[in-house]
Structure 1
Amino acid sequence: MERIFLNRAAAGRALARHLQSYAQREDVIVLALPRGGVPVGFEVAAALHAPLDVLLVRKLGVPWQTELAMGAIASGGALYVDRRLMHEAGVTEAQFEHVLTDAQDELARRETLYREQRPALSVEGQIAIVVDDGMATGATLLAALRALRSRSPARIIVALPVAPADGELRLGDAADEFVCALTPRVFFSVGQFYQDFGETTDDDVRGLLASSASSAGSAGSAGSFRPPQP
């Protein structure tokens, strides 16, 4: 029988045990993908005594086929564009700029909502540990990693509680290291490996980020905060 995590916080604590080589380092930051990745990243950051921030990502969809990503933007002004796909899909520069502007506006709205005026952490020259609550297809994560690379981190580590057995292969060279607590043989969805996979709310995200920031990376203080369980 495959292992099941109690909830995202428990998954984060389990994941943190696989990342202890990055503990107590001044060049490490934890970037969590909202919303479900934030409770996981909160526990990882607390265990490693590292700062926590969100890595917001917004897909840039082809205007007439929005599920088809021609790129992505991420926190800190990071931009990834698949010019080849744009050309093959027949997307003009004007159409692309319209999609980009809309995405930037929405990303800015979410940045303000989650950070509450706290500036984004600089990743330049840092080891960025990118955390989510799991990986299914990997498409959103891949877009986020490609966008993040443009912010010049020294190294990108993908850290997940659970992913398919071929998860690392799916990401290719987008990350420098892949750390996963559980890679089950049979994988249908991320939620099947959680006893409680209830929705993480915007208020949960804001509370966790504020708690992590106020504790200045102290595992003892940060560990005292828990989001409300649905």
Structure 2
Amino acid sequence: MNATYRDRTAAGTVLADLLAPVAGQPDVVVLGLVRGGVPVAAAVAERLRAPLDVLVVRKLGLPQAPEVAFGAVGPGGLRVLNEEIAGRLDPAEIDTVVRVETAELERRERRYRAGRPPLRLDDRIAVIVDDGLATGATARAAVGVARQLGARRVVLAVPVGAPEAYAVLSRTADELVCPARPADFGAVSRYYADFHEVSDEEVVALLTGSG
């Protein structure tokens, strides 16, 4: 099949056109989910004339099935739990997963924020951007973290997504922008001609304006 987008920057340009109603609003902040969402978010932020920042979240996966999330951790020690799943786990199991994922989150925060102040979303419109929705678990976590950080409105914008994940996230975010929802989704990488692994260095360069 032919790719839907040339690369993540091209995908971000498409999203920006769909997000035009919030362009230039002073309370908007565009948040890239690391790592693949940051190049998409950078293109969105530029077109919307909005500040770009990064939202680091880490899924909390079941010990026996890491792909199944029972919650997430976010900046500043924020923790969002799906009690329906987490309630079945031993507290020691939860603590172990939280400890591991928090350590990785803090490493990424130090790397990406590079001395900038902690992320604050008090009374802001948070536009959360990723390069695609597969299961939607990370995006769901990000929406929850943004709300805990004080966002007044949470908009999730992704270039492509699985219909099942779209259905869930449309009930989770205040607004969901997702122009491509193919029935035979497969994987996010199918929809990009260039889907290289985004490095820490690329993320930092985009956040500091040197990329």
TM-score by length of 2: 0.91
CA distance in 2, matches of 1:143, 1:55: 11
Structure 2 distance, partners of 1:3, 1:198, is 14
Checking the alignment, whether the CA contact within 8 Å between 2:126 and 2:146 is kept in structure 1 is no
Report if the CA contact (8 A) 1:114-1:202 is conserved.
yes
Following superposition of structure 1 onto structure 2, how do residues 33-182 of structure 1 map, counting pairs within 5 Å? 33-89=33-89, 91-92=90-91, 94-182=92-180
- CA distance in 1 between counterparts of 2:159 and 2:203 reads 18
Give the C-alpha shift of residue 122 in structure 1: 1.2
Which letter does structure 2 place at the counterpart of 1:99?
V
Contact 2:120/2:150, CA 8 A, preserved across alignment: no
Alpha-carbon distance between aligned partners in 1 of 2:98 and 2:3, rounded to the nearest angstrom: 41
Deviation (angstroms), 1:4:
1.6
**1-structure distance, mates of 2:138, 2:28:** 23
Which aligned segments of 4 or more residues in structure 1 are displaced greater than 3 angstroms?
62-68
Question: 1:61/1:22 Cα in 2 relative to 1: closer, same or farther (>3 Å)?
Answer: same
Report the aligned-residue RMSD. 1.9
Unpaired segments of 5 or more residues in structure 1? 212-224
Whole-angstrom CA distance in 2 between matches of 1:121 and 1:87: 30
Greater Cα radius of gyration, structure 1 or 2: 1
Query: Which amino acid in structure 1 is aligned with residue 21 of structure 2?
Result: S
> What letter corresponds to residue 82 of structure 2 in structure 1?
D
Inter-CA distance 164–65: structure 2 relative to 1 (3 Å threshold): closer
In the superposition, the TM-score normalised over structure 1's length comes to 0.84
Residue 25 of structure 1 deviates from its aligned partner by: 0.8
Give me the whole-angstrom Cα distance separating, in 2, the residues matched to 1:205 and 1:161: 19
Aligned sequence identity (%): 42
Q: CA deviation at 1:143?
A: 1.9
How far did 1:51 drift?
0.9
How many correspondences in the alignment? 211
CA distance in structure 1 between the aligned counterparts of 2:161 and 2:21, rounded to whole angstroms: 21
Partner of 1:184: helix, strand, or coil? Answer: coil
Using the TM superposition, name which of 74-83 and 32-41 deviates more: 74-83
Letter in 2 for 1:97: D
Give distance in 2, aligned partners of 1:185 and 1:81: 30
